[in-house]
Structures are given as C-alpha cells and as structure tokens.
C-alpha cells in the first residue's frame, strides 16, 4: 500500500509552497519520522517527515510549486528494508591515527547542518569542512559561517587539507548578468511593502535618546542577569517595554484600519524584525505586556536563532499589533522604517553613537541613538505620533519609570 506525501496545511494564509530541497532520492528506503523534504513558503521553511517507513517515489521535483494537499511523493510501505542496513549502521567508526587538537571538530556531515547553514554554504561555495564549528557537539552555526567569510574564524589545522572551493572571479570589464528566481518569502516581502506604500499614508517622525541610563543599568547588572537567566541583557527588552507602556497611552498606535472601522487592540503582540539569510522576517512576541525583561530577552534571542536556522513556524510570524526594528545592529544611524501591514506604526532603533550634546548649559559627550516611528496618518495624528515617541524616549532615558509604571 502506498502512502501519499502531501503538501501540509501550515497556516491559514499559506496556500502553496516551493520544494526547496529533497533530502532523499527516488528509490531510497526511508524510516518513519525521517525528514524527506524542505518546503519554502512565503512565511517560513517547513520540513516534512515520513509518516511511514518504505521506499519513496518522488513525484514533484525541486523548485516546483505545490498547493496545499498536493501529492509530492509516495512511500511504498510494503517494501522491505535493504539487507545489511543494520550491520552498516553498527559498523565501528575508524580509529584516528592521532588525537585532534582540543579546538578541532570532525568535519560535519551534510545531515548535521541546519537548513539555513546548508543553504549558506552552498550559496557561497563554502566547504563545511573548512569551517570551525562552535555550536553544540562542534556543529556549525550561521555565525561560524559568517566569521569564516569575514576571515574572523580560521579553519582548524585538520581541515586545511580540504579547502573551500573558490568562487569564480568575474573578469574585469565583464558585463555578465545572472537571473535567479525570487524566493517565495522575498516575493511576499515585495508584495507587502508595495501594498503598504499604496494603501497607507505613511509619515515618519524622529527623536534621539540619551542611552546613558540604560547602559549604566546594563553595566551594573549584566553579570548577575546572565548568571540568573543564562542570557545577556540587551536593549530590546527596554524598548519593547517602553513601547508597550507608550501604546497604552496612545491606543491608536496599537490599532489599524479595517474598511471604515478602526480596530483597537487591548493586548500587545509585538513583532520583532529579524534578518535571516532568506530575508527579513517578523516573529511576534504574544502578550508582551505580561512578560519580564528576562522573558523578553529570551524570546528575542530564541527567535533570532531559529530565524537564522529556518525553524520559525507560521503561527509565530502571524499577527502582531506593533513592530520594533533594530537597524542599528547593521550600523544604520538613521532610517525610515516601513509599516508591516495591517499594523499602523513601527519603531526603528539605530546605532548608538557618542555625540556632544548640551546638558544644563554644558557640552557633554553622551551615547545617543536616533529613533524613528513611521505611522499611518489616516489613523494616527502628528500629535499622537510625536507624543508616542517622546514617551518612549522618556522611559528609555529613565528606565526606573518602567519599573514604577509612571
């Protein structure tokens, strides 16, 4: 009896996906729960596993678009497992001639690489064996690959015998062109950005924040914070908490337009813009007003890691009443963030830079950050947008107000 492998229903708004990569070949014998294929939707990368053991026949090829419920492959569960499979699995590993240096890890197998790392190494023609892994059990992380590309992480001595292939250099004066299909996520991003520009009256207001208070607080408690919670104390938790309190004071900023109605939200689901190798994604922290600073930092860190590994679910990127984006991590000093429809506003954080400012009639050097709020002028007036950003400024410059709720 054959078991169909179908495109799963991964979310209410997702109607189709693209087969990014088959992890098996036609004729292979697969076991139950083996990962068969990676699907790319306009929201997330989805792995489909085998529901039954048997020999697989692939019907849809890599790169093809499949609709929800469409058959991609079939598993013949009457097929017998190949003889000698168990013996092969039990074969002892070869004995090393000499123990490797303490920092050297065995060359990772393709199966040990996350989908995001595998795609990154393929796109940049990097041999995984030439990258020193710092993850658990020596696994390669995206940061390891980036460090390798930037020359910050050198391959271990044992891996120098297998250098990464060199990407062909374009000859001087060449006018060659390359055409590559847009990923579903990139197409979706393009559609949503154009939709936002066409349907909303977008304006941006700016301000600057003296980060001295937050930076001193982080310096005083970062060690105790990490010791207790196992995570670094960053800036995002302060800005998310400041945004939530400011949204309470200006509810229109937490709402949106639906036809001729304004929908106000009495909850605070905060989207956090995260960059991945597939593009910008916005996972949502639900009920952010009910979370502590530690819980917010853990949520942001977890989303960032899983975004880079392509492990975010559709549900985690659905919804959101307001978004926070931090372009400062890339060195941006000032920008005008664009709305994330149907939301009506987005906060843009930027790089912290020491600048001379006047305090009590004296010129002093302070760590300053420009912040921006882009908003839909159809629902948010200038007074509200400026007042909202000023309130964020007040909370971040005096973080004790967040604790006291004043």
What are the pLDDT digits (tens) for 263-286?
Answer: 999 999 999 998 877 777 889 999
Which of 62-66, 85-89, 345-349 has the highest mean predicted lDDT (pLDDT)?
Answer: 345-349
Contacts of 95 (CB under 8 A, 6+ apart): none
Q: Is the pLDDT of residue 123 over 80?
A: no
Confidence of residue 91 (pLDDT cuts 50, 70, 90): very low
pLDDT at position 26, please? 87
Average pLDDT over residues 109-116: 61
pLDDT in tens, 164-175: 445 556 677 778
- The yes-or-no answer on residue 265 being catalytic is no
Fold designation for 2-76: OB fold (Dihydrolipoamide Acetyltransferase, E2P) (2.40.50)
Res. 141: pLDDT tops 80: no
CATH 2.40.50.100 domain extents, the chain: 2-76
Q: Is 304 exposed, middle or buried (0-12, 13-18, 19+ CB in 10 A)?
A: middle
Least confident of 10-24, 267-281, 330-344: 10-24
Q: What is the pLDDT of residue 111?
A: 53
Per CATH, the architecture of 105-157 is what? Irregular (4.10)
161 pLDDT higher than 70? no
Could you confirm whether 381 is annotated as catalytic? yes
In this prediction, residue 142 carries a pLDDT of 65
The whole-number pLDDT of residue 87 equals 38
DSSP 280: E
Residues 237 and 270: beta-carbon distance below 8 Å: no
Instruction: Give the span between the Cα atoms of 299 and 295, in whole angstroms.
Output: 6
Tokens 């860190």 correspond to 301
Task: Please state, in angstroms and rounded to a whole number, the distance separating the CA atoms of residues 262 and 197.
Answer: 19
3-state percent helix, strand, coil for the chain, nearest multiple of 5 = 35, 25, 45
Of 158, 170, 159, which is closest to residue 127 (Cα–Cα)? 159
Q: Taking the CB of residue 128, how many other CB atoms lie within 10 A of it? A: 24
Which residues, other chains included, contact 263 with Cβ-Cβ below 8 Å and sequence gap of 6+?
255, 256, 257
Quote the pTM value.
Answer: 0.65
144, 309, 377, 398: the catalytic one is 377
- Supply the DSSP symbol for 230: S
In this predicted model, which residue has the larger pLDDT, 356 or 155?
356
**Alpha-carbon 196 to chain mean position:** 21
Average pLDDT for residues 373-396, to the nearest whole number? 96
Could you tell me the pLDDT band of residue 80, with boundaries at 50, 70 and 90?
Answer: confident
Q: Which member of 137, 258, 381, 398 is catalytic?
A: 381
Question: In what order do the strands lie in the sheet containing 2-6?
Answer: 2-6, 71-76, 54-58, 29-30
DSSP string, 30-44: E-TT-EEEEEE-SS-
Q: Which residues, 6 or more positions from 116, have their beta carbon under 8 angstroms from its beta carbon?
A: 45, 142, 276, 277, 278, 308, 309, 310
CATH level 3 topology of 185-404: Chloramphenicol Acetyltransferase (3.30.559)
pLDDT of 13 higher than 90: no
Confidence band of 379 (pLDDT split at 50, 70, 90): very high
Q: Is pLDDT at 43 greater than 70 in this prediction?
A: no
Residue 53, pLDDT above cutoff 80: yes
- The 10s digit of each residue's pLDDT in 181-205 is 777 777 777 888 888 888 899 999 9
**207/286 Cα distance (integer angstroms):** 27
State the pairing for strand pair 54-58/45-49.
unpaired
Domain with CATH 3.30.559.10 in the chain: 185-404
Which of 188 and 221 is assigned the larger pLDDT? 221
């Amino acid at each position: 009896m054959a078991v169909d492998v179908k495109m799963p229903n991964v979310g209410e708004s997702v109607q189709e996906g693209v087969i990014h990569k088959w992890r098996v070949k036609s004729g292979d014998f697969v076991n139950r729960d083996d990962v068969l294929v990676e699907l790319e939707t306009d929201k997330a990368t989805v792995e489909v596993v085998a529901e039954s053991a048997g020999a697989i026949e692939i019907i849809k090829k890599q790169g093809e678009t499949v609709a929800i419920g469409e058959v991609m492959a079939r598993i013949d569960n009457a097929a017998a497992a190949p003889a000698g499979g168990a013996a092969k699995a039990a074969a002892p590993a070869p004995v090393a001639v000499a123990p490797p240096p303490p920092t050297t890890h065995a060359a990772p197998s393709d199966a040990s690489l996350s989908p995001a790392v595998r795609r990154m190494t393929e796109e940049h023609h990097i041999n995984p064996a030439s990258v020193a892994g710092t993850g658990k059990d020596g696994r390669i992380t995206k940061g390891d690959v980036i460090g390798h590309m930037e020359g910050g992480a050198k391959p271990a001595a044992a891996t120098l015998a297998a250098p990464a292939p060199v990407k062909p250099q374009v000859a001087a004066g060449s006018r060659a062109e390359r055409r590559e299909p847009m990923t579903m996520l990139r197409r979706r991003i393009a559609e949503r950005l154009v939709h936002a520009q066409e349907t909303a009256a977008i304006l941006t207001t700016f301000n600057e924040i003296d980060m001295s208070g937050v930076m001193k607080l982080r310096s005083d408690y970062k060690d105790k914070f990490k010791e207790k919670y196992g995570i670094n104390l960053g800036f995002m938790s302060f800005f998310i908490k400041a945004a939530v309190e400011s949204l309470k004071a200006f509810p229109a900023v937490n709402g949106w337009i639906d036809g001729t109605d304004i929908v106000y939200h009495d909850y605070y689901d905060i989207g956090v813009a995260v960059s991945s190798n597939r593009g910008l994604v916005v996972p949502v922290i639900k009920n952010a007003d009910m979370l502590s600073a530690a819980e917010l930092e853990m949520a942001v860190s977890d989303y960032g890691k899983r975004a880079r590994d392509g492990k975010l679910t559709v549900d985690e990127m659905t919804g959101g009443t307001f978004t926070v984006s931090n372009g400062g991590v890339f060195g941006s000093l000032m920008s005008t963030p664009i709305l994330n429809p149907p939301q009506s506003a987005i906060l843009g954080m930027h790089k912290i830079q020491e600048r001379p400012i006047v305090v009590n009639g004296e010129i002093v050097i302070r760590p300053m950050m420009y912040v921006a709020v882009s908003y839909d002028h159809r629902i948010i007036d200038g007074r509200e947008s400026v007042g909202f950003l000023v309130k964020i400024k007040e909370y971040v410059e005096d973080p004790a107000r967040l604790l006291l709720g004043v």
